[in-house]
Amino acid sequence: MPKEVAVAGVTIDPVSKSPVVVLREPESGNAIPIWIGLLEANAIALALEGTELPRPMTHDLMKSILQVTGARLRSVEIADIRENTYFALLHIERNGESVLVDARPSDAIALALRCDARILVSETVFAQSSIPATAAPEGGEKDKWTELLEKMDPEQFSKYKM
């Protein structure tokens, strides 16, 4: 059974300088980092910040198409990982029928945030790629993902134009 996660944030991998979206499972605190592209990171960051642009971007357009066709994004699922590549599914419902649509995880997450849909991670992916939450020692030291997220400047993505 897939586990529901929340987007903990978007950060930059200090080694590769690539954006990383960090998903966190609320019960355990375990994190799943997924390396993504700059444009997708920007789309996720805009949704997390609640920023609305004057014209629809790709994920806003996708949301509008779902709405005008009477479809609903029920959830997205990070369903598989093969050769270090994540695969996601959009769970869409229309007129009582459910369909699955293949998607990149970054696009699925950006759309889920706009549609208030649940973000799920399959047990297989969770087992293969989650990073256990580390309890803060008495000195108050934090795990590396928490540190990275706290150090990230939220304005960093605004410099990338779409």
Read off the pLDDT of residues 112-128 as tens digits, 9 standing for 90 and up: 999 999 999 999 999 99
Given this model, what pLDDT does residue 15 score? 84
Domain range spanning residue 62? 3-159
Residue 115 sits in a domain whose CATH number is: 3.10.690.10
Given this model, what pLDDT does residue 143 score? 53
Residue 161 has pLDDT above 80, yes or no: no
| Confidence grade of residue 132 (pLDDT, cut at 50, 70, 90) | confident
Question: For the chain, how many structural domains are there in total?
Answer: 1
Q: Which of 4, 7, 31, 20 is nearest to 111 (CA)?
A: 7
